[in-house]
Amino acid sequence: MKKVLISDRVHSHLIESLTSLGYHVDYLPSLTYKEFLAVVSNYHGIVINSKIKMNAKAIDLARQLKFIARLGSGLDIIDLPYAKRNNIEVFSSPEGNRNAVAEHAVGMLLCLCNNLLRSDRQLRETIWERESNRGIELAGKTIGIIGFGNNGSAFAKKWQNWDVQVLAYDKYKKDYAEDCDWIKETDLVEIQEKADVISLHIPLTQETEYLIDHGFIEKCQKPFILINCARGKNVLTHDLLAALDSEKVLGACLDVFENERPKTFTLEEKLMYKRLYTRDNVVLSPHIAGWTFSSFYKIAASLATQILKIS
């Protein structure tokens, strides 16, 4: 019997679907990476999330492997060329959490623009402060979206009736917004020239690593708000902090970070993140933008459908 290892939490729908397809499923969400490497050779398929890295070493150990299924969208944890050379199918499920990410990004932006975190904290301490918490309306603003895949397009569609101009840039696509009159396809230069808000919806690749750095920020003509619900290493945190200090960046909504394991912070990282965490003009969340109850099911259903096609 073909065996599948699920190494992270997943909705029962996927387990039930794989079982109905004739797979023996080992559901081991507490499996460590070391334990994973010790048993991966036993499996025809694996279902992974961010804690398991399918690099060349892991793929070499997985001698029977026919497919890798990623819970979510980020494929930077998989050596895709090496998987292809070894005839291993790779599945991901970005459509499963794209709406969740889009809603989360909108919510973070509204929270920042209306000073909801600060005013909430103050009011709980019986501080009634209205003037310093005066908000910013988004109507009339320009929102720049970098990356127009599943997440970027879902985020763009949220703004249809908001009286905002949406500028979208995707290096690898064209004619993707022709049916959406509130979205203008453009280039990075126009986004840097006109955007009041810049939102990232890109994978982590050699091209996109630290895309947002001092050089990028300096090319922006207007002070702007940054949203990053993509990958932490799309943004160079030191440069973002400097831009927040200088008010070249007015605020930031961050769901992802360069290092997402606080217990591993170096001294330098502790100081850096302390500077970030204590700012009033940032809204932060622990990589949960796509982590809703609805997306939990939809991700599982998406992978089940894709695996069915090769079974």
Please state, rounded to an integer, the average pLDDT across all residues of the chain: 96
In the block, tokens 């630290």 appear at: 210
Tokens encoding 143: 């929102």
Same domain, 107 and 39: no
Q: In the predicted model, is pLDDT for residue 223 greater than 90?
A: yes
Asked whether residue 292 is assigned to any structural domain, the reply reads: no
Asked whether residue 308 is assigned to any structural domain, the reply reads: no
Helix then strand then coil, in percent of the chain rounded to 5, is 40, 15, 40
Which pLDDT tens digit goes with each residue over 22-50? 999 999 999 999 999 999 999 999 999 98
Sign of the C-alpha dihedral computed for residues 88, 305, 178 and 188 taken in this order: negative
How many percent of the chain have pLDDT more than 90? Answer: 94
Same domain, 71 and 125: no
| pLDDT confidence of residue 26 | 97
Q: In the predicted model, is pLDDT for residue 76 greater than 90?
A: no
Beta-ladder partners of 89: 67
Asked whether residue 275 is assigned to any structural domain, the reply reads: yes
Q: In the predicted model, is pLDDT for residue 143 greater than 90?
A: yes
Same domain, 113 and 260: yes
Asked whether residue 26 is assigned to any structural domain, the reply reads: yes
Residue 102 makes CB contacts below 8 A (sequence gap 6+) with 151, 154, 155, 157, 158
| pLDDT confidence of residue 295 | 97
| Sheet bearing 45-48, strands edge to edge | 24-27, 3-6, 45-48, 67-70, 89-91
Same domain, 139 and 187: yes
| pLDDT confidence of residue 180 | 87
Q: What's the mean pLDDT in 214-233?
A: 98
Q: What's the mean pLDDT in 75-83?
A: 93
Q: What's the mean pLDDT in 147-171?
A: 96
pLDDT range class, residue 279, cuts 50, 70, 90: very high
**Which CATH number goes with the domain that contains 118?**
3.40.50.720
Asked whether residue 295 is assigned to any structural domain, the reply reads: no
Q: In the predicted model, is pLDDT for residue 73 greater than 90?
A: no
Write the DSSP string, 188-229.
HHHHHHH-SEEEE-----TTTTT-BSHHHHHH-SS-EEEEE-
| pLDDT confidence of residue 194 | 98
Same domain, 144 and 268: yes
User: How many structural domains is the chain composed of?
Assistant: 2
- The reported pTM is 0.94
Last residue of a domain, one of 44, 63, 92: 92
CA angle 122, 123, 128 (to 5 degrees): 90
Same domain, 57 and 191: no
| pLDDT confidence of residue 65 | 96
Q: What's the mean pLDDT in 246-256?
A: 98
Same domain, 225 and 262: yes
Asked whether residue 305 is assigned to any structural domain, the reply reads: no
Catalytic residue flag (residue 287): yes
Residue positions counted in the chain: 311
Catalytic residue flag (residue 137): no
Which pLDDT tens digit goes with each residue over 87-131? 999 999 999 999 999 999 999 999 999 999 999 999 999 999 999
Dist. CA 95–CA 89, nearest whole Å: 18
| pLDDT confidence of residue 50 | 82
Q: In the predicted model, is pLDDT for residue 179 greater than 90?
A: no
Same domain, 111 and 233: yes
| pLDDT confidence of residue 35 | 95
Q: In the predicted model, is pLDDT for residue 139 greater than 90?
A: yes
Asked whether residue 204 is assigned to any structural domain, the reply reads: yes
How many percent of the chain have pLDDT more than 70? Answer: 100
Question: Which domain covers residue 58, as residue numbers?
Answer: 3-92
Same domain, 16 and 42: yes
* Residue closest to 199 by CA, chosen among 146, 150, 270, 273: 146
Given the residues 124, 238, 260, 269, the one annotated as active site: 260
Asked whether residue 167 is assigned to any structural domain, the reply reads: yes
Catalytic residue flag (residue 201): no
Q: In the predicted model, is pLDDT for residue 177 greater than 90?
A: no
